[in-house]
């Protein structure tokens, strides 16, 4: 988004089935100086809650109630674990669709907006939320959840590949070969301000780290992916620096594991 947040700016998590609708909502929120992260489904939205702090979640009302309830439960647990104020959940409701107060209560929605969204009404609703909720501070690498995870989980990695040591070595070798190039590409992307490319690279290396069960660096890569998606330059610099430190710590552990499974 590239904007300096004012005192009334909020950080929104938008979860919508329809990419075009999601883009439209994000554009409207960004135009009102709010920071926005879009997730394509509730599972990725719940994952984002563990990485970044949000002031409100904006949900497409067509998600299955059970999935919304599960997402809301995760949201409330995050609030409790991190000592946050209550994060409102806003339902985006299809125009003319039936709606009853009991549905709001069962899904813990704080308010609803009807599509198509009117920019003025949306801004007013966001302002009310800002006044009611306030804005928590952002976390950086020093307070990141990544620090709570191990550099490598060898037993889980071995279990993940069904005890196939040859496959373990192949995955390790491929990662060691590609990661140096990926790190250089991420540095170049950040230096040139190419946040789209940086987000894509962070997403790619996140998948590789998940395959290795390199949990700490995997979380850090996700933080970088979200920061790049948000076009937050300072947070990208911090996250990339922290990721590179985690990757440096990971390499000797991978080399030791490779030596052990080859013995």
User: Rounded to an integer, what distance in angstroms lies between the CA atom of residue 212 and that of residue 152?
Assistant: 8
> Residue 123 — very low, low, confident or very high, per pLDDT cuts 50/70/90?
low
User: Rounded to an integer, what distance in angstroms lies between the CA atom of residue 100 and that of residue 86?
Assistant: 23
Strand, coil or helix: what is 184?
A: helix
Are the C-beta atoms of 88 and 110 separated by less than 8 Å?
yes
Per-residue pLDDT at 117 exceeds 80 = no
Check whether residue 123 and residue 180 sit in a common domain.
no
DSSP secondary structure letter of residue 94: P
Structure tokens at 103: 């549905």
State residue 263's pLDDT score. 81
Residue 247 lies in a domain: yes
CA angle 223, 111, 36 (to 5 degrees): 25
State residue 138's pLDDT score. 44
- The sign of the CA dihedral 124, 130, 133, 139 is positive
Are the C-beta atoms of 77 and 87 separated by less than 8 Å?
no
**Mean pLDDT of the residues in the chain:** 79
> Residue 176 — very low, low, confident or very high, per pLDDT cuts 50/70/90?
very high
The per-residue DSSP string of 99-117 comes to --HHHHHHHT-SEEEESSP
State residue 173's pLDDT score. 94
State residue 186's pLDDT score. 96
Mean pLDDT of 86-108: 61
| Residue ending a domain, choose from 133, 158, 191 | 133
**Domains: count for the chain:** 2
User: Rounded to an integer, what distance in angstroms lies between the CA atom of residue 178 and that of residue 64?
Assistant: 40
Q: Locate tokens 């590789």: which residue?
A: 208
Q: Say what the pTM is.
A: 0.52
State residue 259's pLDDT score. 93
| Residue ending a domain, choose from 133, 163, 189 | 133
Q: Which residue has the higher pLDDT, 129 or 94?
A: 94
Residue 220 lies in a domain: yes
Domain, as residue range, for 100: 11-133
């Amino acid at each position: 988004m590239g904007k300096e947040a004012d005192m009334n700016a909020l950080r929104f998590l938008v979860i919508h089935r329809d990419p075009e609708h999601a883009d439209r909502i994000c554009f409207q929120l960004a135009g009102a100086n709010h920071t926005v992260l879009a997730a394509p489904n509730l599972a990725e939205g719940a994952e984002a809650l563990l990485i970044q702090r949000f002031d409100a979640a904006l949900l497409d009302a067509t998600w299955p109630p059970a999935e919304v309830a599960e997402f809301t439960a995760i949201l409330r647990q995050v609030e409790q674990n991190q000592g946050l104020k209550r994060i409102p959940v806003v339902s985006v409701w299809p125009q003319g669709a039936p709606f009853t107060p009991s549905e709001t209560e069962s899904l813990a929605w704080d308010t609803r907006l009807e599509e198509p969204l009117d920019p003025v009404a949306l801004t007013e609703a966001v302002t009310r939320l800002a006044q009611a909720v306030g804005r928590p501070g952002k976390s950086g690498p020093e307070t990141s959840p990544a620090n709570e995870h191990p550099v490598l989980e060898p037993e889980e990695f071995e279990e993940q590949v069904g005890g196939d040591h040859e496959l373990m070595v192949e995955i390790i070798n491929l990662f060691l070969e590609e990661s140096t190039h990926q790190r250089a590409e991420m540095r170049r992307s950040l230096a040139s301000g190419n946040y789209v490319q940086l987000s894509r690279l962070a997403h790619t290396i996140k998948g590789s780290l998940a395959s290795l069960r390199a949990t700490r660096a995997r979380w850090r890569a996700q933080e970088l992916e979200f920061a790049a998606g948000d076009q937050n330059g300072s947070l990208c610099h911090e996250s990339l620096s922290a990721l590179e430190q985690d990757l440096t710590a990971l390499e000797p552990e991978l080399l030791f594991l490779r030596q052990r499974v080859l013995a």
